[in-house]
Structure 1
């Protein structure tokens, strides 16, 4: 089992054989994605099966239990978050799931991939997957029967302000909560509006700007390690990965070319 916290989300990824859970409850909302195997679920005096591609949803305090049959392979990911936090992230005053099971294989795979990415040892990868998780959780909550608030159009000026704030803090990662508070938007609304305007999440946009500015500094002859530090890359190898992905050349090779 892998287990970690990502901001306010508690995440786990489990691969096992014949695991069973006694009847229990949680203080948080629980969202589970079944990737392999058949899970037999007991929930509030009801029983049902959740096979691969199923997303299970539990409200705080609901009594649940179950698992896979003895000897049967089972793989799943789980996400735990308080109802108040999830509601705030999605721009809701209150949140309660109206159904317990959704069969959505494509969404299940995307959600599982985001949870797995959020367990990465690379902080930047974790942050990018946090963005993805918020958007995907909006889809999950909508499928569960909860109606998300309508998103009023966000003008270009507000997105431009978001870009200004990101640019001012390139040396460090600007938390989505802080950026949303500055703009008066929920995380979900911010991500959806920013992506609609730019085609990127705020963190992806900040990374491309960070990489572009690195190119300018390298052209001036600045040392790659110094550039990486000043622009908020985790280290020089982190700069190397993003620079090569963007421009098809390493920072060192780029500097040797422009010196000619």
Structure 2
């Protein structure tokens, strides 16, 4: 018996599978497939060879590669998978072409971070899912480097370009700008945009937008705007959504803050 959860995170299809023994017949995919093994050992058949992937392993399959295998009957197995077209993944990472040179990497820390981020796609909070998408793009850069693919160096963004990105984010707080939009505006791939923005500000674009969103909420609350109206004006799905992020930032709910600063 197995439990499978599927979702989308940006352009990536992701899944989490928990089972006790599961076998896959020999098959292939149109997409690149990245798997993270968390519990149990998988026996893999790939292009006429066999190998094993235990906990902490990251497996990488190119489109069209014939693969198969699985865990032995009754053996607990938990893994997460990501599916992305080679063209999409290449574009997101600033590559003209993408083909994995290695099929197996043992990197427990990266595997755990990747799995945690993939699972974050199931969050009911849209803004949290957006933050997970940014993290995922950065982690995929690490994975692709490990696979033997060299990522191109990025041109220096400079403060002027990052300031422009910040102005765009600030002007659209009520409707979160996509990484595709920001990248196209600045002339960067998603990966290089994230690295440049993070290097300049210490935050990813959506993390930066979130701190500005909560800061502006604080200002509106001081002016007497209700928490529900502030949430609506700043792109939160509802008041409880604002409350979660406001409390995380300031240690107090919007309502308690507003009562504390009343004159």
For Structure 1 versus Structure 2, the TM-score category normalised by the shorter chain is: over 0.9
How many Å apart are 1:124 and its aligned residue?
1.2
| Counterpart for residue 72 of structure 1 | 75
| Counterpart for residue 177 of structure 1 | 180
Aligned counterparts of 2:131 and 2:177: Cα–Cα separation in 1 = 12
Residue of structure 1 aligned with 2:204, choices 201, 206, 226: 201
Q: Alpha-carbon deviations, 1:120-161, whole Å to 9, x = none?
A: 222111111000100000000000000000112210111101
User: Is the contact made by 2:125 and 2:241 (CA closer than 8 Å) also made in structure 1?
Assistant: no
Q: Runs of 5+ in structure 2 lacking a partner? A: none
| Counterpart for residue 216 of structure 2 | 213
Aligned counterparts of 2:251 and 2:202: Cα–Cα separation in 1 = 21
How many Å apart are 1:250 and its aligned residue?
1.1
How many Å apart are 1:5 and its aligned residue?
1.2
3-state SS of 1:68 partner: strand
| Counterpart for residue 130 of structure 1 | 133
| Counterpart for residue 166 of structure 1 | 169
Determine whether 1:97 maps to 2:83. no
TM-score (norm 1): 0.99
| Counterpart for residue 247 of structure 2 | 244
How many Å apart are 1:258 and its aligned residue?
1.1
3-state SS of 1:55 partner: strand
Aligned counterparts of 2:248 and 2:158: Cα–Cα separation in 1 = 31
Q: Alpha-carbon deviations, 1:184-221, whole Å to 9, x = none?
A: 00000000111111111100100000000011111000
3-state SS of 1:96 partner: coil
How many Å apart are 1:33 and its aligned residue?
0.3
Q: Runs of 5+ in structure 1 lacking a partner? A: none
User: Is the contact made by 2:117 and 2:136 (CA closer than 8 Å) also made in structure 1?
Assistant: yes
Once superposed, which parts of structure 1, at least 4 consecutive aligned residues long, lie more than 6 Å away? none
Q: For the aligned residues, what is the CA RMSD? A: 0.7
